[in-house]
Amino acid sequence: MTDQAESLRKRMMESKSSKDDSAIASIMELTSPREEKMKAQDSLEKNGLVKIYAVVSGKGGVGKTNVSVNLSIAMAKLGKKVLLMDADIGMTNADIIMGIHYENDLFDYLEGRVDIEEIIYEGPMGIKVVSGGAGLLEMNVLDKDAQERLIRELIVLGGFDVMVIDNGAGITKETLSFITFAHEVILVTTPEPTAITAAYRVLKTISYYELKSEVKLIVNKVSSSDAGKETFEKLDTTCKAFLDVSLENCGYIFDDSRVEKAIMKQEPVILSYPNALSSGNIHTIAGIILEEKVFINNISTIKQLGNRFMKIFGT
């Protein structure tokens, strides 16, 4: 354990000394799309840049967690090293969709009962999964050193370049904190009127507290492309008229019976039914979100990420 701790400290110090904003600047100066993509990927791997997405919804039942899980896997299939945090306090269920079982969560780590490695679980396609559980409630009592150690160990340990935070449904203190913490917010809704209304409440809150100027929208369980487009336009029109937040249409996921079949099998649909229409939709959305110029636009080094974490969760 001593050797392992020393190795981790060494990796953290090397990471801290080598990462700065010049990596992003050098990427943006490139003109060749092929070279830009290769350089961007090299920078992400060598400089430890991390992109954080908070996945939220206005209400339960819209398929937010299912989207988070399958989107994480799709990102991994596109070559990203993904850490998925199951941050739905008291209602964590990403493990059910993936067929894994959490023995420990952040609370166990914060209490000193386990090491950081023991709260990171292997998910499908090499993604790593952490259960926030009740541990997220303890974030505001952590001192700054403990907060920095937590986020650094999580990121450095796995060399992640994408972190997906699956939040609880609706607006809670924890969800607002993670929205602020994340670089980008992905809002999941459905064409159902109550889901649209709930999604608007989330957007209104984000706008009121000036948490983000832009939100990505995924419309789930659509019966047709027109239904997805109509849902986006309803929210987009309302946002433009009343809110200081803009919407980006990331795409639609069709209502697909194989999604429920995959859940019953405790397997992500993107792996259980790779040729399903919904699986294709998810792959397309992942490609849109990870488009290189967009991906590197808002991104943090590990040092910046630690500062960001302490700013949001610090006392």
Q: Specify the higher pLDDT residue, 228 or 154.
A: 228
Q: Is the pLDDT of residue 138 over 80?
A: no
Q: From 70, 63, 186, 62, select the one nearest 123 (Cα to Cα).
A: 70
Q: What is the pLDDT of residue 215?
A: 97
Global pTM? 0.77
Token digits of residue 187:
């809002």
Give CA–CA dist 85/267, Å, rounded. Answer: 18
Q: Is the pLDDT of residue 2 over 80?
A: no
Which residues have C-beta within 8 Å of that of residue 280, sequence separation ≥ 6?
none
Which residues have C-beta within 8 Å of that of residue 181, sequence separation ≥ 6?
52, 54, 165, 308, 309, 312, 313
Lowest mean pLDDT among 36-40, 45-49, 112-116, 240-244: 36-40
**Residue 230 buriedness (CB in 10 A; 0-12 / 13-18 / 19+):** middle
Produce one character per residue of 11-50: b if its CB has 16 or more CB atoms within 10 Å, e if not: bbeebeeebeeebbeebeeeeeeeebeebbbebbeebbbb
Q: Is the pLDDT of residue 26 over 50?
A: no
Q: Is the pLDDT of residue 19 over 80?
A: no
Q: Over the stretch 163-192, which tens digit does the pLDDT of each residue have?
A: 999 988 888 877 888 888 788 999 999 999
Q: Is 290 in contact with 296 (CB distance < 8 Å)?
A: no
Q: In this structure, which CATH number among 3.40.50.300, 3.30.420.10, 3.40.50.1980, 3.30.1360.10 belongs to the domain 2-28+47-313?
A: 3.40.50.300
Q: Specify the higher pLDDT residue, 80 or 302.
A: 80
Q: Is residue 101 very low, low, confident or very high in pLDDT (cuts 50, 70, 90)? A: confident
Q: From 8, 43, 70, select the one nearest 281 (Cα to Cα).
A: 70
Token digits of residue 131:
């259960």
The residues pairing with 222 across neighbouring beta strands, listed in sequence order, are 254
Q: Over the stretch 46-68, which tens digit does the pLDDT of each residue have?
A: 445 778 899 999 999 999 999 99
Q: Specify the higher pLDDT residue, 34 or 96.
A: 96
What secondary structure letter does DSSP report for 300? B
Q: Is the pLDDT of residue 261 over 80?
A: yes
Give CA–CA dist 255/261, Å, rounded. Answer: 12
Tokens 């209400």, located at residue:
59
Residue 278: what are its φ and ψ, rounded to 5°? -65, -35
Q: Specify the higher pLDDT residue, 5 or 214.
A: 214
Lowest mean pLDDT among 103-107, 181-185, 234-238: 103-107
Give CA–CA dist 170/191, Å, rounded. Answer: 17
Q: Across residues 75-100, what is the average pLDDT?
A: 84
Q: What is the pLDDT of residue 131?
A: 82
Q: What is the pLDDT of residue 198?
A: 97
Q: Is 70 in contact with 268 (CB distance < 8 Å)?
A: yes
Q: Is the pLDDT of residue 264 over 70?
A: yes
Q: From 120, 182, 110, select the one nearest 155 (Cα to Cα).
A: 120
Token digits of residue 218:
């995924």
Q: Is the pLDDT of residue 146 over 80?
A: no
Q: Is residue 300 very low, low, confident or very high in pLDDT (cuts 50, 70, 90)? A: low
Give CA–CA dist 315/306, Å, rounded. Answer: 14
Q: Is 240 in contact with 200 (CB distance < 8 Å)?
A: no
Q: Is the pLDDT of residue 298 over 80?
A: no
Q: What is the pLDDT of residue 104?
A: 86
Q: From 311, 309, 276, 26, select the one nearest 149 (Cα to Cα).
A: 309
Q: Is 186 in contact with 56 (CB distance < 8 Å)?
A: yes
Of the segments 131-135, 159-163, 296-300, which one has the largest average pLDDT value?
Answer: 159-163
Q: Over the stretch 193-218, which tens digit does the pLDDT of each residue have?
A: 999 999 999 999 999 999 999 999 99
